[in-house]
Chain A
Amino acid sequence: MQTAVIRFPASNCDRDALVALEKVTGRKPLVIWHRETELPAGVGFVVLPGGFSYGDYLRSGAIASRSPIVQDIKAKSERGLAVAGFCNGFQVLTEAGMLPGALMRNKNLKFVCRPERLVVANANTRFTSKYEAKSEVVFPVAHHDGSYYADKETIGRVEKEGRVVFRYTDNPNGSVNDIAGIVNEGGNVFGMMPHPERAIDPLHGGTDGLGLFKSILETL
């Protein structure tokens, strides 16, 4: 399976994502610069990496979400392309309107950087099928703007449709309902603030993140 990682100015987890994807697929992912206007044919899974794209100017992820390549990814995601955004990538997905809600300044106003315990809230998605339902995993978090917010009606709908995929067990940022990660209606676009791509090697302190990549790649 050909995968791709999008690189924005000031992405900084792009390499982590590349290593994770190559480890699981055995094939080097493509690196796509944000000024590109079209994904190469044959790409089946795209990762929007963590970092501080465009210096987080205006709002985290706002400028990146308006870049040419993201318009193409958005159009293709509406036809089923699998996409995941981690940390800044999640912010880009919400800013692009590919996932509902927004990521706001952490409630305690602090940058939070630590291993974070999560519970798999829905193991019946394309991104979590390799996990046991309700099992716990540890992924690192490292963000300042990770407080997930959406209006009541949106939260109600996302909850009812089982689209909350991961929840924090010890909410680090004030996210509504301890939401750490969600999928879109089609189940093919996923975003989360924690970093599964930084939990794929024993030297990372754990390999809980591998299940996520294995889950989605198996469906392609």
Chain B
Amino acid sequence: MKALVYVGLKPGVLDPQGRTIARSLNDLGFAEVESALQGKVIELELSGNDIVAAEARVTSMCEKLLANTVIENYRIEMRAE
């Protein structure tokens, strides 16, 4: 099975990269872009087939390493595939 972990900055934390991306899109004529948030996706291949237990383990991975919860939020998507 697979876990997709999305990590991004918390709302209110200064994100100069996101701001630069939004401005660049505006410059390319995409005037509708009001803001951009840049984050990262971490794909984990996991052994086992208990999705509920696995998600709890991935949550612990996020808290211990994958996200810095001082500045970042995370979201986990589990896939049985």
A binds B: yes
Kindly list chain A residues whose C-beta atoms are within 8 Å of the C-beta of B70. Answer: 94, 100-102, 149-151
Kindly list chain A residues whose C-beta atoms are within 8 Å of the C-beta of B17. Answer: 105, 109
- B20: CB under 8 A from chain A? yes
In the complex the two chains form, what is the Cα distance from A109 to B13 in whole Å? 15
Question: Given known contacts A58-B66, A62-B65, A66-B65, is B14 in contact with A107 (CB within 8 Å)?
Answer: yes
Residue tally, chain B, CB below 8 Å to A: 11
- Kindly supply a per-residue 1/0 record for chain A positions 161-202, scoring 1 wherever the CB is within 8 Å of any chain B CB and 0 otherwise: 000000000000010000000000000000000000000000
**Is B66 touching A104 in the complex (CB atoms < 8 A)?**
no
- B60: CB under 8 A from chain A? no
**Is A149 touching B68 in the complex (CB atoms < 8 A)?**
no
Residue tally, chain A, CB below 8 Å to B: 20
User: Chain A's interface: helix, strand, loop or mixed, by majority?
Assistant: loop
Smallest CB separation, B54 vs chain A (Å): 21
Instruction: Give the top 4 A-B pairs by smallest Cβ distance, nearest first.
Output: A102-B70, A102-B71, A107-B16, A109-B16
Can you list 27 pairs linking A and B with CB atoms under 8 Å apart? A58-B65, A58-B66, A62-B65, A66-B64, A66-B65, A94-B70, A95-B68, A100-B70, A101-B70, A102-B68, A102-B70, A102-B71, A104-B13, A104-B14, A104-B71, A105-B16, A106-B16, A107-B14, A108-B16, A109-B16, A109-B17, A147-B14, A149-B13, A149-B14, A149-B71, A150-B70, A174-B14
